[in-house]
Amino acid sequence: MKWKRILALGGAMFLGVAILALDVVRSSVDIEIEGLLTARDILVLTAFFLLYLFLELSEKTRIEQTVKKLGLILVLSVVVTLVTTALLMFTTDISFEAKEGFLNPLSYKTVFAASFLNLGFSLLALLIFRFLRDLILYKRRRGTRRNLIILVVLMAATAASTMFLRPVDSGIVTSVLFGTAVIAMVANSFRLSWIVYLSKREKVFGLIYAFLLFGTLTVLNVMTQTGLLNQILLYYSHPLKEIVGQTLLFGNIYAGMAFVSTLFHLPTAEAFEKKTTEISSLHTLGKLVTRVFDFNELLDTVTTMTLQVCEAKACWIEIVHQGEGEEGKADPGAVYEYRSKVRSCRLRVAGLRNIRSEEIELLLPFGESSMRDEIFLEPKPVVVDDIAADERINTNRKKGIRQGSMVVVPLLSHDEVIGILYAIKDTEQGFFKDDVDVVSAFADQATIAIENSRLIDKSLERERLMREMMLAQEMQKRLLPQSLPIFPTIQLDAVSTPAFEVGGDYYDVVQLEKERIGIVVGDVSGKGLSAAFYMSEVKGIFQSLSRIHSSPGTLLERANDVLSDSIDRRSFISLIYAVVDTRTGKLTLSRAGHCPMLHVSGNDIRYVRPSGMGLGLSRGKAFSDSIQEETLQLKPGDSCVFYTDGLTEARNGDDEFGYERLIDCARDFRNMDATGIKQSILGRVQSFSANQSLHDDLTLLVLKWVGKP
């Protein structure tokens, strides 16, 4: 782009110097070459076009700088006018001799003055045309560009029609084309849409600039059409003079139109500026709603923008306080008890602008405000034209109450009032419909901001709880055996899967003596966190009592005594406890309301279910009488399956996995080792439930008696 500008400027300068040299030679020697003047005009127009191309390739300014550019054009026009006037008045020996319809310079000063002045007027004409073109095409409509092109074609045709005319001659065709071009200038001058978007200050300056430019261009148009300046322009190039003259006339007409239009738009400038501010404020507030998560900052922004847009003197928001979770957001003393026949709640006063809490309490006491009742009953904007005279305002303490008007707008979320936005002006009847609409729009944005802030807080709280739950899950996993003991006569494998992050299932294998182990599987009623707490308590009880009491029944009785004092009456714990002699294969079993153990011995598959009620359901003799022990002698290849009801109650629609399917699994997988039995049973349960999530905690422990090695 830079080299193109250099070529364009260099070409224009070269042609300008060449034309000047030719004029100097012509003024010294009579040269009569046919077509010489026509060729010279072509060179002049080419140089003019290259100058235009140079300006087009320059960095363009935005249309938003219209008033500044208008002022710049005014300054250039004034400078050209003053320089031209000074040059013609104070420079001697600038004159022409009319001979056979041509103008002959009488001195070299005239030649140089003609070149200098034509350069100045050409630059001014080009700048004016580019400026007017940008203004006309601003927010163009269909046909705008076409109309401008028609004008340019008419101006070019008018200039071209003078190519073969002598400077002092005029033609009918030129006059007709010129008249048509003037009509096109007037038509294009009605394109003044840019004026609407100026601020009030810009319109004032634009009005002044347009008036001064109109006057300056009028002077220039008169100068270029009469006297010595007219002869200078005609001598240099008749076509160029037509282009410059038409451009100055176009600028003159447009400046006049701009002045009149700006004058009519000036009274509405303030209203337009206000609407622009409203749109900008809503846009800014909309972005803040999604980017700013600080509760107080959002409320302060809403009240600040309400002040600016509505030109209010005071503003604040009252938020319906939702609970202790928001206490940290409120300043000390900013939450008030509000009780009336309509609604009782706690109101938090926030975003105060140019008003104190004491003034609000004086204006609208929190214990007796009928204004708030009206908003809660019928949530729609309320306008108070005269605060001092309105019966809904505190009438018992008129002293100190502000004079003026007030608008009250509810903050609605799902048809529920979650807050109220107030704005006050010092003048009576200060709020009109458009003000109420703006405040209502801000109230809607404030509602979104408040709801977003609360949702974010809930999300953060949920995330914190989830992290704590994951930590609890990890801790609960550590309560279960990290590895199972290894014996030459026994194979053991187990798995426990909670339905939620944590659960109430429990299993453990404890070495009681050198040749005896204790196996326990339990299930706390319910699911989730409360069940997990009881599960951890059961582990502690089992770990301590198993080393004291060798009898499974006695252990369950003692465990029930301990748990009865701490467990909730609505909860209970089912437990199955077996003691196995790893040398002889003798298994002693007791059950406290838990699922029966499945014993597989060859083709004999049965559930072992000694009686017993759940831990925590009763205490003393009633519980002891319910507990029974049962002893089995394991044979090589026998297996025992301990589980919780999460396995048998696994669902596929309304169908449960059940005890019969578990027996089928034990029969099908009886020849596998403990790990194979466990994995096969789990696989069949998952296949039955179509890999759906668990409805209850699931625990499975498999014991396989290998016998003496």
Q: Residue 291: what pLDDT?
A: 57
Q: What is d(CA 438, CA 2) in angstroms, rounded to the nearest whole number?
A: 50
Which structure tokens are listed for 604?
């004999």
Q: What is the mean pLDDT of each run of 10 residues along the chain (709 residues)?
A: 82 87 78 73 88 79 74 91 87 76 78 88 91 86 88 92 76 89 93 82 89 93 87 86 92 93 78 61 60 69 80 87 53 66 81 85 74 86 85 59 81 86 88 82 78 76 75 72 88 86 80 88 76 79 85 90 79 91 93 93 92 85 89 93 91 87 92 93 89 78 87
CA nearest 670: which of 599, 600, 598? 600
Q: Residue 446: what pLDDT?
A: 77
For 648, 675, 682, 701, the CA distances from 660, given in Å and listed in that order, are: 9, 21, 15, 18
Number of CB atoms found within 10 A of residue 403's CB = 13
Say if CB 436 and CB 407 are below 8 A apart: yes
Say if CB 65 and CB 194 are below 8 A apart: no
Q: Residue 182: what pLDDT?
A: 94
Which class does domain 480-705 fall in?
A: alpha beta
CA nearest 590: which of 638, 624, 633, 547? 624
Q: Residue 328: what pLDDT?
A: 44
Beta strand spans in 111-188 (E): none
Element (H, E) at 435: helix 433-479
Taking the model in full, what pTM does it have? 0.54
Q: What is d(CA 431, CA 385) in angstroms, rounded to the nearest whole number?
A: 7
Number of CB atoms found within 10 A of residue 601's CB = 18
Say if CB 298 and CB 443 are below 8 A apart: no
CATH architecture of 297-458: 2-Layer Sandwich (3.30)
Q: Residue 281: what pLDDT?
A: 61
